[in-house]
């Protein structure tokens, strides 16, 4: 200890505190600018999934699934979820069109109202029905929401099939027309 009985200390001033804060802020700004200049923007491509394997596996249990026999050029399936048995069997397929727009397919035991509310919007407006050839149903109920999403629904046995998404109505119609319940093994 010194003669005064107090340990040695440096002088703290308001100007010193402000100066150190300015230096710290300038360092952070310089770091952010440096990272933004030398950073490569990563472009993440979605990974395609083979949904036909999942459909084939479910079909071996005797369950009829509506699925697209093939996808148009440039479209990719990005997710498939299947619950083949149990209280509430369900099937979900997510697809991106060639321009990156979403198309979803759900087949569940839930009511149409519940499916629309959960996957499209709480408030949908009924549209003119969609008439198609070569699909799992000739007539599909049509719905739209204020956000621009469209949905088509039909009954398949005891289940509701819902096709929905932000894709154009033409793309959604194309998707609906591709739906089949044919066994996957018999694909040509």
Alpha helices, DSSP H only, in 11-79?
Answer: 14-38, 51-59
Distance (Å) of CA 134 to CA 53, 66, 130:
22, 12, 13
Look at residue 28 and tell me if it is in a domain: no
Look at residue 130 and tell me if it is in a domain: yes
Look at residue 45 and tell me if it is in a domain: no
Confidence of residue 76 (pLDDT cuts 50, 70, 90): very high
User: Alpha-carbon distance 21 to 123, whole Å?
Assistant: 52
Look at residue 24 and tell me if it is in a domain: no
Look at residue 35 and tell me if it is in a domain: no
Look at residue 16 and tell me if it is in a domain: no
**Residue 172: is its pLDDT beyond 80?**
yes
Look at residue 178 and tell me if it is in a domain: yes
pTM reported for the whole predicted model = 0.71
The pLDDT tens digits for 146-164 are 777 788 888 888 888 888 8
Number of domains in the chain: 1
Q: What CATH number is attached to the domain comprising 80? A: 3.30.200.100
User: Alpha-carbon distance 153 to 141, whole Å?
Assistant: 5
Q: Which domain holds residue 99?
A: 51-186
Look at residue 70 and tell me if it is in a domain: yes
The pLDDT tens digits for 5-47 are 566 666 678 887 888 888 888 888 888 888 777 776 666 677 8
């Amino acid at each position: 200890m010194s003669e005064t009985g107090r340990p040695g200390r440096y002088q703290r001033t308001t100007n010193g505190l402000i100066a150190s804060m300015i230096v710290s802020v300038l360092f952070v700004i310089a770091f952010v600018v440096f990272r933004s200049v030398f950073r490569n923007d990563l472009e993440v491509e979605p990974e395609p999934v083979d949904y036909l394997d999942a459909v084939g596996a479910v079909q071996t249990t005797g369950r009829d699934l509506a699925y697209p026999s093939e996808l148009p050029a440039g479209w990719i399936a990005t997710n498939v979820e299947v619950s083949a048995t149990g209280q509430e069997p369900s099937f979900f397929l997510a697809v991106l069109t060639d321009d990156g727009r979403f198309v979803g397919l759900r087949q569940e035991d839930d009511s149409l109202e519940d499916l629309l509310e959960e996957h499209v919007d709480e408030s949908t407006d009924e549209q003119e029905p969609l008439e198609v050839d070569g699909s799992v149903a000739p007539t599909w109920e049509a719905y739209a929401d204020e956000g621009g999403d469209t949905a088509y629904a039909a009954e398949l046995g005891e289940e509701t099939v819902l096709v929905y998404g932000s894709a154009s109505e033409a793309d959604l119609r194309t998707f609906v027309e591709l739906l089949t319940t044919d066994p996957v093994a018999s694909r040509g």
